[in-house]
Chain A
Amino acid sequence: MAVMRVNPNRMELMRLREQLSVARRGHKLLKDKRDELMRQFISTVKHNQELRAEVENLLKQYNQEMVLARAVMPEQVIETALFSGYDNLILQSRRKNLMSVQVPEFFVYDQRMMEDRDERRERARERDRSQTYIPYGFTGVSGELDHAILALRKALPVMIELATVEKTIQLLAGEIAKTRRRVNSLEHRMIPDLEDTIRSITMKMEENERANTTRLMKVKDLILEKEIRERRRRHEKMS
């Protein structure tokens, strides 16, 4: 029980009542928000677990292929082959609004989206070829490395999706924690405090009212007594 330090008057009472009704409404809304966030969060987490398992599986396959590649080729050959490529993997990142939480969405960037149709068809054929695109020359590099890279390429879309989903989870988690704190502070602090204060103000005011009544009664008695005495005196004088 914590009563706020306010003056017990009607003005304050009205203000606090207004505040309490706002707090109650806010509490209800935030609780709904929390529940919905939680629902989305749980389904996203489940999806994330599936994706993660898949990524781990695919990367394990890649690692096996890589071990084979390493076995048939000297380290330097692999390194030079791979480092000759350049960082050209570009993702499209879009912001999505999920329950007023800004979350990013990643896609593998596709240049073809920007071009007109004829070119796109031309590019589509190229894309089929680029599915098996290997970023290094074939001389001196054994086929095992190709397998490894292809295995990794298979993992890429899943990894990108994992990135989207996991970032969403991270951001949602923060929002849920914040909303939960707000709900709790409203529920356990703000609303009971307001209720207590309102009760104490009402009681104080009733008390004042009673005090006033008794005082008035007392005053009335005094006045009456005085009146009676005066009349009695006058009466005595007359007679």
Chain B
Amino acid sequence: MKLVKVAVIGDIDSVLGFRGLGMNVIVTDNPVEAFSKLEELAKKNYGVIFITEDLAEKNKNIIENYVEKIQPAVILIPSSRSDTDFAMKSLQELVKRAVGIDFLNPENN
């Protein structure tokens, strides 16, 4: 058993409130910067890092680098401004790659 911290990366509107929950909040609009911050956090004792969808969509490294690692868990959250379905889509992509078929997509059933 281990104790880990939690961080959020995203634009200010989406992540500001998480400060009120005691998470480490990193405000950025730039996907490249977001990734370097993520790398920095991953080296420290962060177990869960939430990151907004639109940042992850613009920089694929953000999720792909940490998919196979047990820590940190990089989890996408919707941002306040855009609603892309990127979190869902990337999950579908992952499922497709693993299983070979896309059983989440209703069109294929």
* Count of chain A residues with a beta carbon within 8 Å of a chain B beta carbon: 58
Q: Which of A147-204 contact B (CB under 8 A)?
A: 148-149, 152-153, 156, 159-160, 162-164, 166-167, 169-174, 176-177, 180
Known: A79-B16, A85-B20, A172-B98. A63 touches B70 (CB 8 A): no
- What is the bound-complex CA distance between A169 and B76, given in angstroms? 14
- Cross-chain contact B5 with A87 (CB below 8 angstroms): yes
Main secondary structure of the interface of B (DSSP, over half): mixed
Partner of A91, one of B3, B77, B104: B3
Q: How many pairs of residues, A versus B, come closer than 8 Å at their CB atoms?
A: 139
- Cross-chain contact B17 with A106 (CB below 8 angstroms): no
Known: A66-B80, A89-B6. A152 touches B71 (CB 8 A): no
A66 to chain B, nearest CB (A): 6
Known: A56-B78, A106-B47, A167-B73. A45 touches B95 (CB 8 A): yes
Known: A104-B73, A152-B18, A163-B73. A38 touches B99 (CB 8 A): yes
- What is the bound-complex CA distance between A135 and B20, given in angstroms? 6
Chain B residues in contact with chain A, CB under 8 A?
1-7, 13-14, 16-24, 47-48, 50, 67-68, 70-71, 73, 75, 77-78, 80, 87-88, 91, 94-95, 97-100, 103-104
Chain A residues in contact with chain B, CB under 8 A?
38, 41-42, 45, 48-49, 52, 55-56, 59-60, 62-63, 66, 78-79, 82-83, 85-95, 102-104, 106, 109, 134-136, 148-149, 152-153, 156, 159-160, 162-164, 166-167, 169-174, 176-177, 180
